[in-house]
Amino acid sequence: MINLFLRGSDSGKAQDGTCKLKFIKMDIPENYDNIPGNDELPDSIKIKAREIGCILIVRTNKRGSKPGAFYLKGNLNSDIDCDIVEKKIIDNYLSHKYKSPLCWISKDRKW
């Protein structure tokens, strides 16, 4: 079950160390419209998210010729406090730190 959906937030970036969650990157599935306004999660992404037990999914938007990607963050093997992740997402949203990513949180990880 999805507990939170936000347009314009993220948990941070691995490159600058602001994201402490382990993640896997998945390309945008074929025939998926990566456009503003499409907030649907493809079934293939939900299946993989359930499989690894991730708590957070972030979709980056298309930039120029890049199609974007889905980032499945957190997994069953990590000690993740769901409330801390949710607070970080909300704080980043309120501070307008990220403008275009979409993010979904599932505390029960059942997507």
Say what the pLDDT of residue 15 is. Answer: 67
Q: What is the pTM of this model?
A: 0.91
Say what the pLDDT of residue 38 is. Answer: 92
Say what the pLDDT of residue 29 is. Answer: 94
Q: Where are the domains of the chain?
A: 4-105
DSSP 63: B
For 46-77, the pLDDT digits (tens) are: 999 999 999 999 999 887 777 889 999 988 77
User: Which alpha helices (DSSP H) does 7-107 contain, by range?
Assistant: 43-52, 82-94
CB 23 within 8 A of CB 72: yes
Average pLDDT over residues 36-43: 92
Say what the pLDDT of residue 77 is. Answer: 78
Pick from 70, 79, 71, 75: nearest CA to 53 = 75
Say what the pLDDT of residue 92 is. Answer: 93
